[in-house]
Structure 1
């Protein structure tokens, strides 16, 4: 398990300079005008749902990556703490956001991370699917502890849709927990990738103490919002 996680971390370090190509549908991820527009329309649904939370004082972003969603969180958060295991990702994020003082960055291994304070909102995108199934419940329990009473969690992740990935990636089984990923230079890595169904994600969030709702866009994304309910 440790070696598998190390390979996954190495993959995202190596992928940092080309990660945004996936999100912005560039190069190997360009699926043509129609599918690209469908993707961006669904991204707009996610952004709208996030903005509907309204202004909050403090946000914790886990696996902040290159700042695609950090810049959206800036629209609703007064202070953001952004964590990522990759120094390369953090550097890109910091540059993209013009080194804003609103965001505090920390290089952290999220598998060993323990929350030290509570936040109004804990947010993470395209991260839960990379957590090994044996560690998901413990990870979500930590997320629960990081949310203040009556605070929220907001999660974005992937649906199983072959056109969401690179044109030279071929995924046939949504129940397989591993994927082989290829970089632009042809180098390959194996990572964890788990596709959650809404009922499963609701169950997992409910079990740790959130009152949760889960929705899907038409093709590409699943997203969840949970409110912390104090346990009796």
Structure 2
């Protein structure tokens, strides 16, 4: 994937970033190292995450779920309790290896997939994605949501969770630009990468979901997360 100048695209650089970041990714979610913002802020973070978890489980058990961008297994381990069968997809073999070791559940199967080229080959009762949609460029959003719709049975459930534009959600040495769909991310060793990061607004996201065939509600969890609970029409 190259841009018009022949240089690696931001999507290709983003994929390289998450491969390189795999071993330190959990520091972000568990508020460690550069992501530790103090006891009070961290407590609000974990309370918001628990609110999302409760909303996820409130929908009840399902037979099959596909998880996009499963990462290190933070949410895969929850889905393994919620569904009889979990299919976990990610582009990074490093992420998949950590996930498989962490989750170690017989009802989870893994596939290495470039999600920008993903086309579902079967349907599921539920599709879940955490902190993935913000890495989809706006010009690709409609097509990606339509692929999600094709992955679900009629009345299948779509559950998405992602980041609000809160400065303390990221590392102390990261800056969130005022108006941009790309930003610079830094690893612990100082290497930097350009990635896609879109802070979708609830109204526009709901409209895009409805255009893709979903009946959707967008919710906010504390200061840090939004989540979508939707049904495929």
1:179 aligned partner:
183
Between the aligned partners of 1:182 and 1:168, the Cα distance in structure 2 is 8
Between the aligned partners of 1:200 and 1:60, the Cα distance in structure 2 is 25
- Per-residue displacement from partner, 1:82-122 (whole Å, max 9, x unpaired)? 00000000000000012x22001000010111010100000
Aligned partner (choices 200, 203, 207) of residue 203 of structure 1: 207
2:167 aligned partner:
162
Between the aligned partners of 1:167 and 1:104, the Cα distance in structure 2 is 35
Instruction: Please report the RMSD computed on the Cα atoms of aligned residues, expressed in angstroms.
Output: 0.8
Question: Alignment partner of 2:54: what SS?
Answer: helix
Deviation at 1:131, TM superposition (A): 0.7
Between the aligned partners of 1:26 and 1:151, the Cα distance in structure 2 is 36
- Per-residue displacement from partner, 1:57-94 (whole Å, max 9, x unpaired)? 00000000000000111121000000000000000000
Between the aligned partners of 2:229 and 2:54, the Cα distance in structure 1 is 13
Q: How does 1:192-231 map to 2 (within 5 A)?
A: 192-229=196-233
Deviation at 1:172, TM superposition (A): 3.8
Between the aligned partners of 1:197 and 1:15, the Cα distance in structure 2 is 27
Q: How does 1:76-225 map to 2 (within 5 A)?
A: 76-98=82-104, 100-173=105-178, 175-225=179-229
Structure 1 unaligned segments of length 5 or more: list them. Answer: none
Question: Alignment partner of 1:42: what SS?
Answer: helix
Question: Alignment partner of 1:180: what SS?
Answer: strand
Between the aligned partners of 2:90 and 2:50, the Cα distance in structure 1 is 24
| Structure-2-length-normalised TM-score | 0.96
Runs of 4 or more above 2 Å deviation: none
Between the aligned partners of 1:120 and 1:111, the Cα distance in structure 2 is 22
Between the aligned partners of 1:136 and 1:197, the Cα distance in structure 2 is 13
Aligned partner (choices 35, 43, 54) of residue 29 of structure 1: 35
Question: Alignment partner of 2:81: what SS?
Answer: coil
- Could you tell me whether the CA contact under 8 Å between 1:51 and 1:75 is conserved in 2? no
Between the aligned partners of 1:197 and 1:218, the Cα distance in structure 2 is 15
Between the aligned partners of 1:115 and 1:170, the Cα distance in structure 2 is 35
- Could you tell me whether the CA contact under 8 Å between 2:177 and 2:183 is conserved in 1? no
Aligned partner (choices 5, 13, 16) of residue 7 of structure 1: 13
- Per-residue displacement from partner, 1:167-217 (whole Å, max 9, x unpaired)? 0112241x3100100000000000000001111111011001100000012
Structure 2 unaligned segments of length 5 or more: list them. Answer: 3-8
Deviation at 1:218, TM superposition (A): 2.4
